Amino acid sequence: MASDRIFGLIILFVALAYIASATQIQSSFLADPVGPRAFPILIGAVCILSSLVLIFRPDPDPEWPKRATFWALLISIIVLVAYAYALKPLGFIVPTAFAAGIMSYQISPNLRTAMLAGTGLSTGLFVIFKFILGLGLIAFPKELFG
């Protein structure tokens, strides 16, 4: 019950903000009868209607993860965000080994297999992508190896 209500409220506010920013869209001299604002506003309106339905007639709650699992999910998201930032400046191999290892540890907490999975995946995938598929990946930061 509560989950659907909260989600409905969030959607309601997002949709209102969406409509508000849609009204700010500038039209140009190339005018057509509908214009650039109408369709986004229409979408926002449908969304508001549906979110009201969700708020007033919510479904039963899903089973949310326990606190430990929730932390595991949060750690994974943080790791993936860090990985996204690290991929370009630090090359492929080192960030991938860390990210894959930590992800593996989140799925089954065993330090040795996680480390093996991390190093194995990063080198294995690098070989496949670089030498078999010919994608332009950089193994290590350029500054280190000129």
Partner 1 sequence: MDIIQNLSLGFSIALSPYTLMLAIAGCFIGTIIGSLPGLGPSNGVAILIPITFTLGLDATSALVLMTSVYYGAMYGGRISSILLNIPGDEPALMTTLDGYPMAKAGRAGDALVLSGVASFVGAFLATVGLILLAPLLARVAYLFGPAEYFALYLLAFCTLGGMSSNNQAKSAIASCIGLGIAMIGVDNNSGMPRLTGGSLHMMDGVDFLVAIVGLFAIAEVFFFIEGRGKNSSIGIKLDKVTIPWKDINATKWTMLRSSFVGFFAGILPGAGASLGSFLAYMTEKSIAGPKGGFGTGVPKGIAAPEAGNNAAAGGALVPMLTLGVPGSGTTAVLLALLMTLNITPGPTLFADRPEVVWGLIASLLIANVVLLLMNVPMVRIFVKVLMVPPRILLPGVTMVSFVGIYSLSGSYFDLLLMVGFGALGYILRKLDIPTVPVILGILLGGNMENALRRAMVLSDGDASFLFSSPIAIGLWIAAILGFVAPMFLRSVLQKPQRVSD
Contact between 54 and partner 1 per CB under 8 A: yes
Cα–Cα distance between 122 and 96 in angstroms, integer?
5
CA distance 32 to 28: 10
Inter-residue contact 94 to 144 (CB < 8 Å): no
Please count the residues of this chain forming the interface with partner 1, following the rule CB under 8 A.
Answer: 72
Applying the rule CB under 8 A, the residues between 88 and 127 that interact with partner 1 are 88, 92, 96, 99-101, 103-104, 106-108, 110, 113-114, 117-118, 120-122, 125
Smallest separation, CB 140 to partner 1 (Å)? 16
CB 67 within 8 A of CB 52: no
The smaller minimum CB distance to partner 1, of residues 96 and 146, is found at 96
Cα–Cα distance, 8 to 51 (Å, whole number): 5
Q: Is 23 one of the binding residues for partner 1 (CB under 8 A)?
A: no
Q: How far apart are CA 107 and CA 80, in angstroms?
A: 14
140 binds partner 1 (CB under 8 A): no
**CA gap 63, 76 in Å, rounded:** 20
Binding-site string for partner 1 from residue 62 to residue 91, where x marks contact by CB under 8 A and - marks none: x-xx---x--xx--xx--xx-xxx-xx---
What is the closest distance, in whole angstroms, from the C-beta atom of residue 98 to partner 1 in the complex? 11
